[in-house]
Structure 1
Amino acid sequence: MFTINQHRRRFIKTLFVGFSCLSLPSIVFSQSTQSLIIRTGILNKIPQRILSAGFVSDLLLIALCPEKMVGIATELKTDSKKFLSEQIQNLPHIGRIAGRASTAPVEKIVNLNADLIVDAGNVSETFLSSAKKISKQTQLPYFIVSGKLTDSAQQFTQLGELLQQPTRAKALADLSDEILTKTYQLCATDNLNVYLARGADGLETALKGAIHTEVLDWLGLQNVANGAGEKKLARVSMEQLLQWQPDLILTQDTNFYQHSQQHALWQNLTAVKNQRVFLAPSLPFNWLDSPPGVNRLLGCVWLAYKLKPTVLSQQNAYDLVQRYFRLFYGYEISSNNTSPHF
């Protein structure tokens, strides 16, 4: 199920034919994945200067090839910086390049003299249209990989082949695969109803199937907000929550976590009474979401341990987290400096 090499040859053949044959269309799809290359500019060498298009691709490049990055979309939090190399800390903050939340002007992008733009996400028509526009404006090739949690290993495999860094890419893909394999549907038979509380008041949530809930879905948890609306994110009322009575509440917001413990109305929820409100770790990036990238592999480990400690022991979970930090961030954690929520 989690084999990452089975489509590699077909993908790479498709990709490099797109580079070498200028008569082909400017968009070349992999036949087996959602990855593609938009070739407005010419890429006839191994890219040495790479620009990340957004928050999700930031995390891929920080893990795989930080030395090639010429800018970062994420505005790093002060508390996050200590986990990252000085090289990453000193990168110019470019902002998001593509999409509705784009903040990077074209002139700023061009002045970085990048060889390639890398992005990750859901390859929708809107996403693709935005990428095509940026590629045309900057005359830079634009490489996109699928940003789904299930594609974490493939993201590294494909990008590693493109940049000709297969050894490091394999190490990152192997650990991604190991984490996904050890946590897949671990809670499926427990019938746990879960509410994902977003925002300071906890009354925004993500619906089942949204990218924001992929960690929950992967572990086999039941999202109480399934069917609450057609949008991926929705506002809910306290009355609705009282009807749902989730077994577990997850949040990434410290303010809401404190609010839920202190506000009398929240005490009417079974999850709060039973002290089943879990605050996910957030350093150097949120472990459940925001951004919805490979950082969520840590969320899989953390939540699996919290809910199934007899299956994924503390020692095993800690070992995975330690190896992740060492490989993905180049940071050595110990029992004295790991997340207090772990």
Structure 2
Amino acid sequence: MPAPPRRALLLGLAGIGLAAPSLAREVADATGRRIAVPDRVARVLAAGPPAAILLWSLAPEMLAGWPGRGPRPAELAFLPPEAAALPATGRLTGRDNSANLEAVLAQRPDLVLDYGGIGPTHVSLAERVRSQTGLPMLLLDGRLPLIPETYRRLGEILDRAPAAAVRAAAATRILAAATDAAERLRARGRPRVLYVRGPRGQETGLAGSINSEIIEFAGAENVAASGLGGGGLATISAEQVLAWNPDWVIAMDPAFPGFARQDPVWGSLGAVRAGRLALVPALPHGWVDFPPSVNRLLGLAWLPVLFGAAPADGLAETVAELYALLFHRRPEAAQLAPMLRQALPGRA
């Protein structure tokens, strides 16, 4: 049976009569809305994967379940055993807003958390969830530079201020180092980068897209943003790729590098011929995108090294420490080595 659409889900929640938690205090989310939440929050329903990763990094015991699907075996190898025990709860937001009604109700969350956009559409959904279910829904801004502030805000809401402070401090250090590296790149000439999604590189992020904002934050020029302007995700053609002729191609899909080297269009690019085709590490979550959450801190540690604005020495240790902080499991060197080899062609 197909999953119910978002509107049907929300009406169903109201009809079944989910008991609202006892609300004892007010907090402010990133939109400035003052929202009543329980004095003690024990369980949180993540509206989408970005919120789930944020919450898992700070308070994994509070996560009610994985939106959409649970981690696959390859992803679980980078997570503690508890990650496998959480149910799949479906999604309230994003392209696949297909939350399963029974799974949502079974979790009895104290509040709903969404992390990413905070525009009118997201506020409208949050207000609809609250009015039809009695559950408070908080929105946190997913922009990359705001990660430290987001951690501190969420730490206050969940009574996890000390753990949030540790993560905010780490994020501040990563952001500052990436900013310094970006200044060095601008001084010598920004690399022109094309970030591609999909097995054939048919999709990319434009200016203002949360999916690709990390490219420019790291000091590179997003050629798709320069060529197509602002927006979210966009489909691109072979003609556009040839016209842009980027210095670097960064791919999200592990099938893309093999395709690009055999394809006459992609294979003709100077970047591909010169070996400047890097694969974004994706376990347990992508370092650039997919989903765009706090896992992107790993990308900010990696991209300056890829572009030659920071030394490769120490990257593996930095990455291992971030894994321990964000995912609660420190990877073995043998787990990281193959990812870094593909992420740093000719370097690692």
TM-score normalised according to structure 2 size: 0.84
Q: Are 1:252 and 1:279, in contact at CA under 8 Å, matched by a contact in 2?
A: yes
Match in the other structure for 2:125: 130
Q: Secondary structure at 2:139's aligned position in 1?
A: strand
Match in the other structure for 1:295: 295
For the pair 1:149 / 2:144, whether they are aligned, the reply is yes
Q: Secondary structure at 1:292's aligned position in 2?
A: coil
CA distance in 1, matches of 2:242, 2:137: 47
Amino acid at match of 2:143: K
Match in the other structure for 1:110: 105
For the pair 1:240 / 2:234, whether they are aligned, the reply is no
Match in the other structure for 1:175: 170
CA distance in 1, matches of 2:194, 2:242: 11
Q: Are 1:106 and 1:137, in contact at CA under 8 Å, matched by a contact in 2?
A: no
Match in the other structure for 1:341: 339
Amino acid at match of 1:130: L
For the pair 1:51 / 2:50, whether they are aligned, the reply is no
For the pair 1:279 / 2:273, whether they are aligned, the reply is no
Instruction: Report matched runs for 1:220-239 at 5 Å.
Output: 220-226=219-225, 227-228=227-228, 231-239=231-239
Is the deviation greater in 138-147 or in 228-237? 228-237
Match in the other structure for 1:324: 322
Aligned length: 312
CA distance in 1, matches of 2:129, 2:96: 14
CA distance in 2, matches of 1:74, 1:339: 29
2:96 to 97, 101, 104: 101
Amino acid at match of 1:192: P
Identity in percent: 30
Instruction: Report matched runs for 1:12-27 at 5 Å.
Output: 20=25
Match in the other structure for 1:197: 196
Change (3 A) 1:68 1:46: same
Deviation, 1:107, is: 4.6
Match in the other structure for 2:218: 219
Q: Which has the higher helix share?
A: 2
Q: Are 2:193 and 2:221, in contact at CA under 8 Å, matched by a contact in 1?
A: yes
Q: Are 1:53 and 1:98, in contact at CA under 8 Å, matched by a contact in 2?
A: yes
Q: Are 2:174 and 2:301, in contact at CA under 8 Å, matched by a contact in 1?
A: yes
CA distance in 1, matches of 2:62, 2:222: 39
Deviation, 1:19, is: 5.5
Q: Secondary structure at 1:71's aligned position in 2?
A: coil
Amino acid at match of 2:268: N
Amino acid at match of 1:145: L
Change (3 A) 1:288 1:272: same
CA distance in 2, matches of 1:91, 1:220: 38
Q: Secondary structure at 1:341's aligned position in 2?
A: helix
Q: Are 2:68 and 2:99, in contact at CA under 8 Å, matched by a contact in 1?
A: no
Amino acid at match of 1:55: P
Deviation, 1:121, is: 1.2
* Two-structure CA RMSD over aligned residues (Å): 2.0
1:78-128: CA deviation from partner (whole Å, max 9, x where unpaired): 200121122221111011123553111445323311111111111011111
Q: Are 1:109 and 1:138, in contact at CA under 8 Å, matched by a contact in 2?
A: no
Instruction: Mark the runs of 5 or more structure 2 residues left unpaired by the alignment.
Output: 1-22, 341-348
Deviation, 1:229, is: 5.5
TM-score normalised according to structure 1 size: 0.85
Q: Secondary structure at 1:51's aligned position in 2?
A: strand
Deviation, 1:230, is: 5.3
